[in-house]
Chains A and B, each alone.
Chain A
């Protein structure tokens, strides 16, 4: 069990550019979540997948944000036309999501800085 991994760990981009982040969940986990965390705050939910199906999106996820989880394995989060307000830590988490096991295990995050 290698845990949840995220790539890249840091991303600096100019306003208006597109960025894409990747998350690899724990291999047997069916559920995958994306959260956003700003400095001094708790994580806020963005979206979640059950296998390859995206079942919920937060109102925080504007039209510039899109997430995919092809084949129910890794996931990508893309932000188009980045804005300075998008600067945050983007966290990915996965969970088994069955049999009463709902703990979410988090990756190290991708810190995005938009200049």
Chain B
């Protein structure tokens, strides 16, 4: 069975500083995708960044970047120059595109990020 683990229930960062959110996953498949989603309080889930497992290069989207370690099954999110608007629950998610039971997002339990002014 595929699982996603986020071991940090809460994190805090000062405005303009850098923070890293951890995620580990488990799958026996070699072809999969990893995502980070952001869910602000009482607002909808927003896609932050994606990573294809077959790509060795780490994905980057503006202030957001990932450290993808395939052998270690680790997928951390780094937020640089943190802003007050980054405060949210962050979910790590795993997706495998097979025509069957695994064709869905599997989410971790989330990390609640607070940004201090």
Q: Is B104 a contact partner of A103 (Cβ separation < 8 A)? A: no
B residues less than 8 Å from A70 (CB atoms): none
Q: Is A103 a contact partner of B50 (Cβ separation < 8 A)? A: yes
Task: State whether A55 and B103 are in contact (beta carbons under 8 Å apart), knowing that A102-B33, A102-B95, A105-B47 are contacts in the complex.
Answer: yes
Quick check: is A90 within 8 A (CB to CB) of the other chain?
Answer: no
Task: State whether A91 and B101 are in contact (beta carbons under 8 Å apart), knowing that A42-B107, A102-B33 are contacts in the complex.
Answer: no
Q: Is A56 a contact partner of B103 (Cβ separation < 8 A)? A: yes
The size bracket of the interface on A is: 20 to 34
Tell me the smallest distance from the CB of A77 to a CB of chain B, in Å. Answer: 15
Quick check: is B106 within 8 A (CB to CB) of the other chain?
Answer: yes
Task: State whether A48 and B104 are in contact (beta carbons under 8 Å apart), knowing that A91-B45, A102-B33, A103-B47 are contacts in the complex.
Answer: yes
B108: which of A42, A91, A103 is its contact (CB, 8 Å)? A42
Q: Is B101 a contact partner of A43 (Cβ separation < 8 A)? A: no
Quick check: is A51 within 8 A (CB to CB) of the other chain?
Answer: no
B78-117 residues at the A interface, CB under 8 angstroms: 91, 93, 95, 97, 99-101, 103-110
Tell me the smallest distance from the CB of B64 to a CB of chain A, in Å. Answer: 14
Quick check: is A41 within 8 A (CB to CB) of the other chain?
Answer: yes
Quick check: is A45 within 8 A (CB to CB) of the other chain?
Answer: yes
A48: which of B33, B43, B103 is its contact (CB, 8 Å)? B103
Q: Is B105 a contact partner of A104 (Cβ separation < 8 A)? A: yes
A102 to B37, CA, bound (A): 14
A residues less than 8 Å from B52 (CB atoms): 100
A45 to B95, CA, bound (A): 12
A44 to B35, CA, bound (A): 15
Quick check: is A109 within 8 A (CB to CB) of the other chain?
Answer: yes
A106: which of B44, B99, B106 is its contact (CB, 8 Å)? B44
Q: Is A43 a contact partner of B107 (Cβ separation < 8 A)? A: yes
A93 to B107, CA, bound (A): 14
Quick check: is A25 within 8 A (CB to CB) of the other chain?
Answer: no
Provide 13 A-B residue pairs closer than 8 Å at the C-beta atoms, listed in order of the A residue.
A35-B105, A40-B109, A41-B109, A41-B110, A42-B4, A43-B45, A45-B105, A56-B101, A56-B104, A102-B97, A104-B95, A104-B105, A105-B47
